[in-house]
């Protein structure tokens, strides 16, 4: 009997180990884009999603980008053709694209040892490398920044926030968040780019940057982020386990307009599952508790996502405009102009509901409903050419344009009459 017990112990141990390393693959999968002419086309897309024939990458009123696996291509093609819907292929071979972006952490070398961390803009960092970088900042820049824990996830990881301040008691608070959605790696690197540039060049910053308290959470959903590195590159949700499936879409779990029939997703197996109830998730609870504990409350939040090159403001679930529409438009216009000056990239702007698609329970809407007047989402590069698989060569420029956007926001908030945020800024990296 002891032999059998030992045997089963090893069998289970091997099974668990092999489960942990087995990657989800997308051999033969493609990403297609199709134009939508109206409600009937949209219904077809929704039906294909419900049947799990496709999964949505990006949905706009007039356009859908979606992943179609090899075994579903013929069926999807036929159904679209029956409606006279044509498509273009955005990504010919999804797995090959994934394989061209290796995520093995950089090794410690003489150079990285000298610098003190292994983060670079040349490849997407693992969570380990990101947290190593936080520790480096906390040690080397302890007079202006510290690392705080704002919550613990289902898989027992700490959600970490970098707090940057010059200690001025009159500072307004700007909160920047990335990585709510696991696969949107560019949102994480852009938040890192911004915190790196604010901290390491703090003395040279304009007063409208220095005289703010910057709270930056590059990885709101660390469980999902790790999973997207180790198992499924295209994972979106967190990693909370339910009866049949895993994960809640963190950015659908806030208590604002939650539970609207036809918008709020209540199937736990769907990629936009809104959770069993509002604030059921560690990540959304952490953001709620943070915002409710801050005095003064933040004057602005900017939530980073990808993709689409959009600057969005509330509402996400309501068709009507907010009372701050004018303020949002003006500020967003200033931000997108600064982005264009920085990298010559055009970002469109508007309310999420109209520009993208209705979504309930978003952090954007919740923060705004709690009195954060300046609430924005930036959907960064690209416009669908490679979507979530944005090449690492674009990490740095994407970071640059989002950095320009948040500096413009900081300037706008204080109404400073100093130079344009783009002037005399020379961002170099390591
Ligand atoms: Zn997102």
Question: Same domain, yes or no, for 158 and 240?
Answer: yes
Do 51 and 158 share a domain, yes or no?
A: no
Average pLDDT over every residue of 327-352? 97
CB 33, CB 87: distance < 8 Å: yes
Selected catalytic residue, list 132, 379, 393, 427: 379
Q: Are residues 361 and 313 part of one domain? A: yes
CATH of the domain at 128: 3.40.630.10
Residue 199: band (very low, low, confident or very high) from pLDDT cuts 50, 70, 90: very high
Residue 21 has pLDDT above 90, yes or no: no
Residues 177, 85 share a domain: no
Question: Strand, coil or helix: what is 214?
Answer: strand
What is the chain's mean pLDDT, rounded? Answer: 91
Considering only residues 180 and 425, tell me which one the structure prediction assigns the higher pLDDT: 180
pLDDT on residue 20: 55
Q: Span 129-140, mean pLDDT?
A: 96
Q: Catalytic annotation on 379?
A: yes
Q: How confident is the model at residue 424 (pLDDT cuts 50, 70, 90)?
A: very low
pLDDT at residue 329 greater than cutoff 50: yes
Contact, 243 vs 268, CB < 8 A? yes
Ligand 1: centre distance to CA 320 (Å): 23
Q: C-alpha angle with apex 242: 51 to 216, nearest 5 degrees?
A: 100
Could you tell me if 405 and 307 lie in one domain? yes
Q: Is residue 419's pLDDT more than 80?
A: no
Q: State in Å: Cα 284 to ligand 1 middle.
A: 14
Where is the domain boundary, 77, 99, 121?
99
Percentage of residues of the chain with pLDDT beyond 70: 91
Alpha carbon of 306 to ligand 1 centroid (Å)? 6
Structure tokens of 257? 């307009």
Q: Do 82 and 166 lie in a common domain?
A: no
Mean pLDDT of the 396-419 span: 85
Task: Find the domain containing 164 and state its range.
Answer: 110-414
| Six token digits for residue 93 | 């071979």
Q: What is the pLDDT of residue 261?
A: 85
Are residues 259 and 129 located together in one domain of the fold? yes
In this structure, are 68 and 178 located in the same domain?
A: no
The answer to the question of residue 9 being in a domain is no
| Whether residue 263 sits in one domain with residue 296 | yes
Residue 69 sits in the same domain as residue 185: no
Of 72, 99, 126, which closes a domain?
A: 99
Question: Are 68 and 86 a contacting pair, CB within 8 Å?
Answer: no
pLDDT at 9 over 90: no
- pLDDT value of position 105: 78
- Of 66-80, 281-295, 366-380, 406-420, the range with the lowest mean pLDDT is 406-420
Provide the domain count of the chain: 2
pLDDT band at 317 (very low <50, low <70, confident <90, very high): very high
Residue 376 lies in a domain: yes
* CATH code for the domain of 56: 3.30.70.340
**Domain-located, residue 122:** yes
Handedness of CA 317, 321, 322, 327 (dihedral sign): positive
| Distance from the alpha carbon of residue 206 to the mean position of ligand 1, in angstroms | 30
pLDDT of residue 262: 82
Residue 4 alpha carbon to ligand 1 centre in Å = 48
pLDDT tens per residue, range 229-252: 999 999 999 999 999 999 999 999
């Amino acid at each position: 009997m002891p032999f059998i017990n030992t045997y089963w112990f090893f069998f289970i141990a091997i099974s668990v180990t092999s489960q942990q390393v087995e990657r989800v693959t997308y051999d033969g999968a493609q990403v297609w884009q199709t134009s939508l002419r109206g409600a009937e086309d949209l219904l077809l897309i929704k039906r294909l999603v419900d049947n799990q024939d496709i999964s949505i990458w990006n949905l706009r009123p007039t356009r859908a980008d979606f992943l179609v696996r090899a075994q579903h291509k013929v069926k999807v093609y036929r159904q679209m053709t029956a409606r006279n819907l044509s498509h273009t292929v955005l990504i010919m071979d999804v797995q090959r694209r994934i394989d061209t972006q290796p995520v093995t952490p950089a090794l410690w070398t003489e150079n990285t040892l000298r610098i003190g961390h292994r983060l670079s803009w040349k490849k997407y960092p693992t969570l380990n490398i990101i947290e190593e970088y936080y520790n480096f900042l906390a040690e080397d820049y302890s007079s202006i920044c510290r690392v705080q824990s704002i919550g613990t996830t289902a898989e027992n990881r700490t959600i970490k926030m970098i707090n940057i301040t010059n200690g001025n008691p009159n500072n307004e608070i700007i909160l920047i968040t990335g990585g709510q959605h696991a696969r949107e790696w560019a949102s994480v690197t852009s938040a890192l780019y911004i915190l790196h540039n604010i901290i390491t060049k703090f003395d040279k910053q304009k007063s409208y940057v220095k005289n703010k308290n910057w709270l930056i959470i590059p990885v709101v959903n660390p469980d999902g982020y790790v999973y997207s590195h180790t198992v499924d590159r295209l994972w979106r949700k967190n990693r909370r386990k339910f009866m049949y499936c895993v994960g809640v879409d963190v950015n659908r779990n806030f208590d604002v307009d939650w539970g609207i029939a036809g918008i709020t997703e209540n199937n736990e197996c769907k990629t936009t599952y809104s959770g069993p109830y509002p604030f059921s998730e560690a990540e959304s609870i952490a953001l709620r508790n943070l915002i409710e504990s801050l005095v003064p409350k933040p004057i602005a939040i900017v939530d980073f996502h990808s993709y689409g090159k959009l600057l969005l403001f509330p509402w996400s679930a309501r068709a009507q405009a907010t009372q701050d529409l004018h303020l949002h438009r003006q500020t967003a216009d200033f931000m997108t102009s600064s982005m264009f000056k920085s990298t010559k990239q055009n970002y469109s702007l508007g309310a999420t509901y109209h520009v993208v698609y209705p979504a309930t329970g978003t952090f954007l809407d919740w923060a705004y409903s709690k009195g954060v007047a300046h609430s924005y989402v930036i959907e960064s590069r690209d416009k669908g050419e490679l979507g979530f698989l944005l090449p690492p060569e674009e990490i740095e420029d994407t970071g640059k344009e989002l950095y320009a956007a948040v500096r413009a926001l900081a300037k706008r908030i204080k109404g400073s009459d100093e130079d344009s945020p783009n002037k005399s800024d020379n961002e170099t990296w390591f």
